[in-house]
């Protein structure tokens, strides 16, 4: 089937009631052909899947194994199969084909992509249809990727496998999403086990399904424990559940007094009615696992403990407290919390829910495993204690924590910073002035003395008039203007505005596209070195040819833009050319080395 076709014996019918024409149905990736056994019959079909809108099929267990392929124009083709498994094979195949077609059809060019890529795929790798669908979906979502794919894979520069090999991650991420989801417990509470009363008799009926029983076991360990202990040694399964339901019923009717009375008579029943010891123990365990530094007082405002059940009504009746019988009462909040915990834990058992006994035992086994982890918890206890003492330590009482360190000693800080400064000055092209140190032959006293003189001289003389000579002013203005206009077209005026944005949109896009395609090619080029197999050799020469085609294209871009932008475009194109040149240089050098090298030298030895 993976080979891409299905051949099955079937009957072709024009309607459901039609007796049908027996024959052979053959399905391939793009069409299906029906050939009647009787060559004279008129029922021969040859239909492309493109005209098929969807498919319908009869349920397993119904009278006939039917498959109905509906057409876009209306009407359809009905096939009847001998057996359901036969039908299912065809149904699955049709599903895949249609899924593939429909995921691609919406954009016209994609259809082409698929039709051209399919043969290539079949040749070099056996792809599962799901894998292919995933790839098609990726291509459809990312137009960038699709462009690259079209440019390189369809023209044969890169093979399908090579193209995707570098994008495994994309496929993987997608793959993880499609992994099977595990079904957990229902988030609905177990209140669903409602007693049904028929109006006439006093009988109350509970209906328990394996699903519900599983949930009961998970949520009420005491019931689980009791089941394992009593059934079937002490009582039958039916008795057990009857007792359980009776206990439930007592709870439900809020008859705490009756519950207490019954519990006194029947110790088994008491198990169900009393607070669950196992639960309490688990809760204690959990409390012990809580971060010791947790500030409980901070949550005090959220405490509603004084309001029993937060004043929530259960089954329409407000619960009231009666201290004497508290033992026999469960509060809604307890139930809610327990249920939430079980739902969050998830379903540990991966098995068919059938026999109650097996469910109970499997659950017990998984509990055992949990117990083992609890032992390791004991070790964690010590760690928690340490953590608590660490967090609550009083800083004043601690010895100072001195870390062993060696002080950084820079021999000559002047040299340390000067080196950078000298460099910066060099960059300014002001070498003459920059390298000359300020020669100060004056003593401090002299310097300050004459400086003070200058100030007092100024105080006496006042401001010079005019402040600045007009001709000097003009010169300065002209100089500044010239400087500004000369730097007008300088690149990188500010980090925020990109040169690309000043270019026409088409040029910008073209440049970006070339960048991505060059990157793609170079990625494949460099990853194939060192060339160890003839396959890699082929690949490199293929890529090299493709790269050589890019040069004229880049030249074309340069020529096509207006003169204003030509300089900028050529600056942008420059690094692309450099990257390509580097690749070619490496290619040539490698080729030369190969031709001169005698065979015995190990690869990579220079």
Residues found near other proteins in the complex (CB under 8 A): 408-428, 430, 433-434, 436-448, 450-452, 454-459, 461-464, 467-469, 472-473, 475-477, 479-480, 483-484, 487-488, 490, 492-493, 606
Report in angstroms how near the CB of residue 526 gets to other proteins at its nearest.
17
Nearer to other proteins, 109 or 405 (CB): 405
Q: Is residue 7 classed exposed, middle or buried when 0-12, 13-18 and 19+ CB atoms within 10 A define those classes?
A: middle
**Alpha-carbon separation of residue 57 from 8, 70, 77, 79, 95 (angstroms):** 16, 11, 11, 9, 11
Report in angstroms how near the CB of residue 598 gets to other proteins at its nearest.
18
SS3 458: helix
Which are the contacts of 393, defined by CB distance < 8 A and separation ≥ 6?
none
Which helix (H) or strand (E) segment holds residue 45: the answer is: strand 45-48
Phi and psi at residue 230, in whole multiples of 5°?
-90, -35
Distance CA 240, CA 228 (A): 11
Report in angstroms how near the CB of residue 217 gets to other proteins at its nearest.
59
Nearer to other proteins, 119 or 466 (CB): 466
Report in angstroms how near the CB of residue 122 gets to other proteins at its nearest.
44
Nearer to other proteins, 462 or 552 (CB): 462
Distance CA 68, CA 80 (A): 9
Using alpha carbons only, give the angle 420, 410, 418 rounded to the nearest 5 degrees.
20
SS3 126: coil
Report in angstroms how near the CB of residue 536 gets to other proteins at its nearest.
22
Distance CA 214, CA 210 (A): 6
Report in angstroms how near the CB of residue 428 gets to other proteins at its nearest.
5
CB atoms within 10 A of CB 522: 17
Nearer to other proteins, 287 or 409 (CB): 409
Phi and psi at residue 26, in whole multiples of 5°?
-120, 125
Nearer to other proteins, 188 or 480 (CB): 480
Report in angstroms how near the CB of residue 498 gets to other proteins at its nearest.
16
Report in angstroms how near the CB of residue 488 gets to other proteins at its nearest.
8
**535: nearest Cα among 165, 154, 159:** 159
Nearer to other proteins, 415 or 501 (CB): 415
Contact in structure between 314 and 332 (CB atoms under 8 Å):
yes
Nearer to other proteins, 340 or 454 (CB): 454
Report in angstroms how near the CB of residue 415 gets to other proteins at its nearest.
7
Nearer to other proteins, 444 or 598 (CB): 444
Q: In what order do the strands lie in the sheet with 31-36?
A: 45-48, 31-36, 21-28, 5-13, 76-81, 65-71, 52-57
Distance CA 290, CA 494 (A): 54
Nearer to other proteins, 83 or 597 (CB): 597
């Amino acid at each position: 089937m993976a080979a891409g076709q299905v051949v099955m014996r079937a009957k072709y019918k024009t309607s459901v009631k039609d007796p049908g024409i027996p024959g052979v149905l053959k399905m391939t990736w793009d069409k299906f052909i029906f050939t009647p056994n009787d060559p004279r019959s008129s029922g021969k079909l040859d239909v492309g899947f493109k005209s098929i809108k969807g498919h319908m099929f009869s349920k397993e267990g119904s009278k006939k194994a039917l498959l109905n392929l509906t057409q876009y124009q209306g009407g359809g083709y009905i096939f009847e199969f001998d057996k359901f498994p036969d039908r299912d094979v065809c149904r699955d195949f049709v599903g895949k084909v249609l899924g593939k077609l429909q995921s691609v059809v919406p954009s016209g060019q994609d259809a082409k992509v698929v039709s051209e890529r399919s043969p290539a795929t079949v040749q070099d790798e056996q792809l599962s249809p799901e894998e292919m669908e995933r790839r098609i979906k990726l291509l459809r979502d990312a137009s960038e990727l699709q462009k690259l794919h079209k440019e390189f894979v369809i023209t044969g520069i890169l093979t399908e496998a090579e193209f995707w090999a570098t994008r495994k991650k994309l496929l993987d991420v997608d793959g993880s999403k499609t992994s099977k989801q595990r079904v957990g417990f229902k988030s609905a509470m177990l209140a669903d086990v409602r007693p049904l009363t028929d109006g006439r008799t006093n009988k109350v009926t509970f209906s328990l399904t394996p699903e519900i029983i599983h949930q009961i076991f998970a949520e009420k360990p005491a019931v689980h424990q009791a089941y394992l202990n009593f059934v079937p040694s002490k009582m039958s399964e039916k008795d057990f559940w009857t007792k359980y339901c009776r206990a439930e019923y007592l709870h439900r009717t809020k008859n705490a007094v009756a519950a207490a009375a019954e519990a006194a008579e029947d110790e088994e029943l008491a198990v169900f009615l009393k607070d669950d010891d196992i639960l309490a123990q688990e809760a204690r365990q959990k409390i012990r696992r809580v971060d010791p530094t947790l500030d409980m007082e901070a949550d005090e405002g959220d405490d509603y403990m004084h309001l029993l059940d937060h004043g929530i009504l259960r089954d329409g009746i407000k619960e009231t407290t009666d201290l004497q019988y508290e033992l026999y009462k469960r509060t809604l909040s307890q139930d809610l919390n327990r249920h939430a915990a079980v739902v969050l834990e998830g379903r540990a058992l991966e098995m068919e829910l059938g026999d109650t006994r097996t469910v109970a035992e499997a659950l017990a086994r998984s509990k055992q495993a949990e117990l083992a982890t609890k032992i390791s918890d004991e070790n964690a206890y010590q760690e928690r204690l340490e953590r608590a003492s660490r967090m609550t330590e009083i800083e004043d009482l601690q010895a100072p924590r001195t870390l062993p360190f060696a002080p950084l000693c820079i021999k000559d800080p002047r040299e340390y910073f000067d080196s950078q400064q000298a460099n910066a000055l060099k960059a300014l092209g002001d070498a003459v002035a920059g390298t000359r140190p300020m020669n100060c032959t004056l003593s401090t006293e002299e310097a300050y003395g004459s400086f003070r003189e200058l100030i007092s001289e100024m105080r006496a003389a006042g401001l010079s008039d005019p402040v600045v000579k007009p001709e000097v002013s003009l010169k300065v203005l002209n100089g500044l203007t010239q400087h500004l206009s000369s730097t007008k077209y300088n690149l990188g005026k500010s980090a925020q505005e990109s040169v690309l944005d000043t270019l026409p949109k088409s040029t910008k896009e073209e440049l970006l596209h070339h960048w991505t395609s060059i990157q793609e090619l170079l990625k494949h080029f460099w990853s194939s070195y060192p060339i160890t197999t003839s396959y890699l050799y082929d690949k490199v020469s293929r890529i090299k040819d493709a790269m050589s085609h890019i040069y004229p294209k880049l030249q074309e871009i340069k020529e096509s833009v207006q003169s204003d932008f030509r300089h900028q475009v050529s600056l942008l194109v420059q690094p692309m050319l450099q990257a390509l040149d580097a690749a070619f240089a490496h290619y040539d050098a490698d080729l030369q080395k190969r031709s001169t090298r005698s065979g015995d030298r190990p690869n990579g030895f220079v």
